[in-house]
Amino acid sequence: MPFDRAHTRRAALRLLALNGGALLLAGCGGGSAATGGLGRAVGGEADPSILAVTTRKPVRGAEERPWFGNERSGATRAVRVRFDPPPRSLVGRAAASVTGRWSVKRLETLGDTDPVAAISSLVAGGDVLIYVHGYNQTFETAVTDGADLADAIGFRGTTIAFSWPSKEGLLDYGYDRESALWSRDAFQDLIEALVRNAMVGRVHIVAHSMGTLLTLETLRQLWSASGSADVAARFGAIVLAAPDIDVDLFAASLQRIGPLVKHLTVISATNDRALAVSRQLAGGVTRTGAADRATLEALGVKVADASDYGWGILRHDLFLSNRDVRGVIKRAIELGG
């Protein structure tokens, strides 16, 4: 998918956010912090970058767009994603508010023989933020969303985007769900490498939509295999934004991840129209991201109800399009979960 088309939905959301007006979520400091998280993530180079781990099959050797496609790969790959610096001029900044601040410039392959080990060695010395995208996403939109998020909250550690093989189509919900679950082992390998590296600080995770299903199932799998108090202490915030998870499955899974429950924050909106469609596709069972606050708090997780914030048609990407919802993520990371 060409870059301009891939960003059409994001551009629309940014326009909605510009017109939406800022409100303050209870208990959360509004506003994004200073830019700088991306440069810090790779040692302060002039051209900002993040790291990415993907289970997608590369296209044309991942040497040009779209780099990685929607097919599943037999191997996990790691890359450094370098971006063109954000525009400095007034006109450039105005244009970027619509088209997005980050434009991918090139990819650099990391660790051909052991990409996860290469990633773990690169991030030693600070906190890590892992971003996991949702349904109907390209590799490029996934990494640029990760860059947008890290920059907006002023994250000063290393940002890693985990990109699983989304089919990038509105009618491919089933394929995407299976691809997300298929990627659990690779995601577990990444998380375990980070939490077991004594040189890495806390590991924070922000997952969106269907990416939250991948995240929760991976945490359940990880805790079953190697859960301990030492492992739990290595986690910081685990933020599930608009989780596209059956609320009954969510409740059952929380019983299987031990003290990691205390690290969870759910960003929900009862008027999330995308999750209303997902509910119909899933047999009418409420999705966790559209459940009411009382239902979720009774399960022992922290909840940020964004039902009355932002403005738009779908209300599914508020964690990217609304500064006060982003403030929830920033505060959760600052508090370590």
Count of C-beta atoms within a 10 Å radius of residue 331: 18
Check if the beta carbon of residue 98 is closer than 8 Å to that of residue 173.
Answer: no
3-state class (DSSP) for residue 102: coil
Q: Is the pLDDT of residue 103 over 70?
A: yes
The DSSP secondary-structure symbol of 85 reads P
Check if the beta carbon of residue 70 is closer than 8 Å to that of residue 180.
Answer: no
Rounded to whole angstroms, what are the CA distances from 50 to 61, 281, 337?
20, 34, 22
Range 67-94 average pLDDT:
84
Q: Mean of the per-residue pLDDT values for the chain?
A: 85
Terminus-to-terminus CA distance in the chain, angstroms? 36
The b/e string for 165-179 (b: 16+ C-beta within 10 A; e otherwise) is: bbbbeeeebebbbeb
Check if the beta carbon of residue 326 is closer than 8 Å to that of residue 32.
Answer: yes
Largest Cα span, the chain = 53
Q: Is the pLDDT of residue 9 over 50?
A: no
Of 173, 192, 207, nearest to 76 by C-alpha is: 192
Q: Which domains, from first to last, does the chain contain?
A: 3-21+38-334 (3.40.50.1820)
Q: Report pTM.
A: 0.86
Check if the beta carbon of residue 207 is closer than 8 Å to that of residue 240.
Answer: yes
By CB neighbour count within 10 A (0-12 exposed, 13-18 middle, 19+ buried), where does 39 fall?
Answer: middle
Check if the beta carbon of residue 18 is closer than 8 Å to that of residue 134.
Answer: no
Share of the chain above pLDDT 70, in %: 80
Residue 259: asked if its preceding bond is cis (omega within 30°), the reply is: no
pLDDT tens, residue by residue, 201-255: 999 999 999 999 999 999 999 999 998 999 999 999 999 999 999 999 999 999 9
pLDDT tens, residue by residue, 29-68: 333 333 334 644 433 456 799 999 999 999 999 999 999 9
3-state class (DSSP) for residue 72: strand
Detail the DSSP E strand segments found in the chain: 49-58, 68-84, 103-110, 128-132, 158-163, 203-208, 235-241, 264-268, 302-305
Q: How confident is the model at residue 297 (pLDDT cuts 50, 70, 90)?
A: very high
175 vs 315, residue with greater confidence: 175
Of 152, 144, 265, nearest to 215 by C-alpha is: 265
Q: Which residues pair with 162 in a beta bridge?
A: 53, 132
